[in-house]
A and B are shown apart, each in its own frame.
Chain A
């Protein structure tokens, strides 16, 4: 990965649904190789920010650059974990089938996954601890297992920048730790991992840097500098009672990368 260009840049990004802006004037630069959290209350536009980076929603203004280039030029280096609710889990495919979908973009039109893709899929399933359910229909998994199937599929994309939309939603503590470990490994391998996240408590433990957003960017930077009581109040506008407490805990015990 080039050291001169940032991993991910938003320049003056505005997204609107109809006439209502959901995100405005977001200027945000994420350095390479880190675990980066996008934090904010429900309806703050966290997922929209991710979708804007992936070209899944049209920009009303501004531009996004990934690894210093427009998305079209680096799409093959971008991995994605959508929200779990975005698909029908009764769909007739197995766990392995879904993970293999991560190799489809590289395969291109018409070519089918072969032994190389199958062994990659098996390896990715092993990394997230799902080797024993590889042949199961995806509906016959627990919520945390389904979330890890999506993570394995993203691993099979072999990307340099990963976008994850609420990967911890409905996931128990142990699965959460397992997912965070895999993500930390990705960072150690020099990749950038951008996570939409809502649980403030785990932020200080795992993330290097965060952006607090609520329709606009409130603050961004290393966790300890950003999660101050003042910033949290401006983001959540009094929607959380425990804000000060968490802010103080973060300021005292948070990691500084």
Chain B
């Protein structure tokens, strides 16, 4: 879809001018940096603080515009935005420290007050028709069309700088984000590192303003990290991956908005980011919804099959058994379909009786399967009794072989200690 729109924007054979290319590169690095920096905001559970900072930027943009005598100079406006963003974060810290207001309430207050003030100021400016104020509302929802190559280079450079800082202090940031108590106890300046990370988020929020706007820029900081977390269990992979998702989201948003006149970039960037997020939430291996659902289903199915085999092994002692007898001894929602699967895989086979009733028995390999499962369960029970931690750490519902997981030597030791315990507690 993005490609199709890009085709609309750039007809075949058309080479984009220098300015377009520079702006695209600048926005790409903004998206990348927002994803990278956002990781620690998400991991440290500070995403909402970033949102408050983002909403406070409008006030700074308006103030800087007035102070600069009505010039629409991007570095000046962003400087103003950064100062009110940091002021908002400071207000959060102070409210937390000196009043008994809870974090979420404090965030909502700072966000609402600063955004309200910002909107009031910008409306006032535009109502007076101050020359040059026409483009200010672009900071509300983002609009990259007006960016010059020089602006884009500044944004790109700031982005790369923040990425470099995060990469440089990756070890320290990870430590503080994971276990601040331990970090403080071993002498790290936790508060300083925490504040530095929050300021980096504020910087990224400001740098992302032209691309996504004050209202939506947090999404660019928060959604890519959450998307990346779906795919990896390692911080070292999560950071670049979040950067990549942010880059793709930012670029596609900008490409689409440049094709449609007067279309703000912010909402498009967020839509692109949330498409990636939705896909990841659904199909990511292990953490994805689909994988979880399948795993839950497979779990129930595997257990039901195992139970049926186990019961069949016991019933079989008295000859062939009926389906009803089997299901009565191993009830459960999944039992019926499990029975069908066992029949289809020929683990259970029909027996022809004189009366013509349907009776069943275990096939040879079904019997082996059932016997092996019973043996494993008995072994796991031993492990559970002698070494509970091992059983709890390793036993899964598909009943794997304990020898394969714990090793033959460990199993032998467990058996011996179980035997010793039995003879110690048994009758003298």
Residues of A within 8 A of B (CB): 54-56, 75-76, 78, 80, 82, 86-88, 91-94, 97-98, 101, 104-105, 107, 109-110, 112-113, 133, 137, 141-142, 144-145, 153, 157, 163, 172-175
Tell me the complex Cα distance, A30–B427, Å. 45
7 CB contacts below 8 A, A to B, read A82-B182, A82-B185, A92-B238, A93-B233, A93-B234, A97-B234, A101-B182
Which one of B108-116, B304-312, B315-323, B385-393 is at the interface?
A: B385-393
Residue of A nearest to B239 (CB): A92
Instruction: Judge if B334 is at the interface, Cβ distance under 8 Å.
Output: no
In the assembled complex, how far is the CB of residue A151 from the closest CB belonging to chain B, in whole angstroms?
Answer: 12
Instruction: Judge if B55 is at the interface, Cβ distance under 8 Å.
Output: no
Q: Which of B43, B182, B387, B388 contacts A91 (CB 8 A)?
A: B43
Tell me the complex Cα distance, A104–B235, Å. 16
Q: Contacts A92-B233, A93-B174: A174 and B388 contacting too (C-beta < 8 A)?
A: yes
Instruction: Judge if B103 is at the interface, Cβ distance under 8 Å.
Output: no
Residue of B nearest to A112 (CB): B171
Whether A173 contacts B179 by the Cβ 8 Å rule is no
Contacting residues, chain A, for B178 (C-beta < 8 A): 87-88, 91, 93, 98, 101
Contacting residues, chain A, for B168 (C-beta < 8 A): 110
In the assembled complex, how far is the CB of residue B359 from the closest CB belonging to chain A, in whole angstroms?
Answer: 44
In the assembled complex, how far is the CB of residue B233 from the closest CB belonging to chain A, in whole angstroms?
Answer: 4
Instruction: Judge if B229 is at the interface, Cβ distance under 8 Å.
Output: yes
Whether A109 contacts B172 by the Cβ 8 Å rule is yes
Whether A76 contacts B234 by the Cβ 8 Å rule is no
Contacting residues, chain B, for A56 (C-beta < 8 A): 181, 184-185
Whether A80 contacts B388 by the Cβ 8 Å rule is no
Contacting residues, chain B, for A87 (C-beta < 8 A): 178-179
Instruction: Judge if B187 is at the interface, Cβ distance under 8 Å.
Output: yes
Whether B186 contacts A104 by the Cβ 8 Å rule is yes
Contacting residues, chain B, for A88 (C-beta < 8 A): 178
Give 9 new A-B contacts, CB below 8 A, not counting A82-B185, A93-B235, A94-B234: A56-B185, A88-B178, A91-B178, A94-B233, A101-B178, A109-B172, A110-B168, A172-B388, A175-B389
Residue of B nearest to A87 (CB): B179
Tell me the complex Cα distance, A98–B178, Å. 9
Contacting residues, chain B, for A175 (C-beta < 8 A): 389
Q: Which of A78, A101, A145, A157 contacts B389 (CB 8 A)?
A: A145
Q: Contacts A82-B179, A112-B171, A172-B388: A142 and B393 contacting too (C-beta < 8 A)?
A: yes
Q: Which of B174, B187, B238, B393 contacts A145 (CB 8 A)?
A: B393
Whether A141 contacts B234 by the Cβ 8 Å rule is no
Tell me the complex Cα distance, A163–B186, Å. 12
Whether A54 contacts B389 by the Cβ 8 Å rule is no
Instruction: Judge if B232 is at the interface, Cβ distance under 8 Å.
Output: yes
Tell me the complex Cα distance, A88–B393, Å. 19
Residue of B nearest to A163 (CB): B185
Tell me the complex Cα distance, A94–B232, Å. 11
In the assembled complex, how far is the CB of residue A133 from the closest CB belonging to chain B, in whole angstroms?
Answer: 8
Whether A75 contacts B186 by the Cβ 8 Å rule is yes
Residue of B nearest to A83 (CB): B181
Contacting residues, chain B, for A174 (C-beta < 8 A): 387-389
Whether A105 contacts B186 by the Cβ 8 Å rule is yes
Q: Contacts A112-B171, A141-B393: A173 and B234 contacting too (C-beta < 8 A)?
A: no
Instruction: Judge if B276 is at the interface, Cβ distance under 8 Å.
Output: no
Instruction: Judge if B188 is at the interface, Cβ distance under 8 Å.
Output: yes
Contacting residues, chain B, for A78 (C-beta < 8 A): 185-186
Tell me the complex Cα distance, A78–B185, Å. 8
Contacting residues, chain A, for B389 (C-beta < 8 A): 142, 144-145, 172, 174-175
Tell me the complex Cα distance, A82–B178, Å. 12
Q: Which of A54, A76, A142, A157 contacts B392 (CB 8 A)?
A: A142
